Amino acid sequence: MERSLRPMTHEIREQIKLRRKKQQDISDLISNKDISNEDLSYCYISDLQLQGCSISNVNFSGTKMKFQFQKGSARNCRFICTHFLEGSSLRAADMKTCNLNGTYAPNIDIAYADMRNCNVCDTTFTMFSKKTYKIKLDKNFLRLFSRFVEIDGVNLNDYI
CA distance 83 to 50: 18
Return per-residue pLDDT of the chain as tens, 160 residues. Answer: 355 789 999 999 999 999 999 999 999 999 999 999 999 999 999 999 998 899 999 999 999 999 999 999 999 999 999 999 999 999 999 999 999 999 998 888 888 899 888 888 888 876 656 666 667 766 666 666 666 666 566 666 666 5
| Residue at 29: amino acid letter | L
**What is the domain class of 10-159 according to CATH?**
mainly beta
pLDDT for 129 = 63
For the chain, which residues make up each domain, given as ranges?
Answer: 10-159
Contacts of 56 (CB under 8 A, 6+ apart): 36, 37, 73, 74, 75, 76, 77
List C-alpha distances in Å: 93 to 29, 71, 89, 96: 23, 5, 9, 9
pLDDT for 1 = 39
CA distance 35 to 109: 21
Contacts of 51 (CB under 8 A, 6+ apart): 3, 68, 69, 70, 71, 72
Neighbours of 72 (CB within 10 A): 18
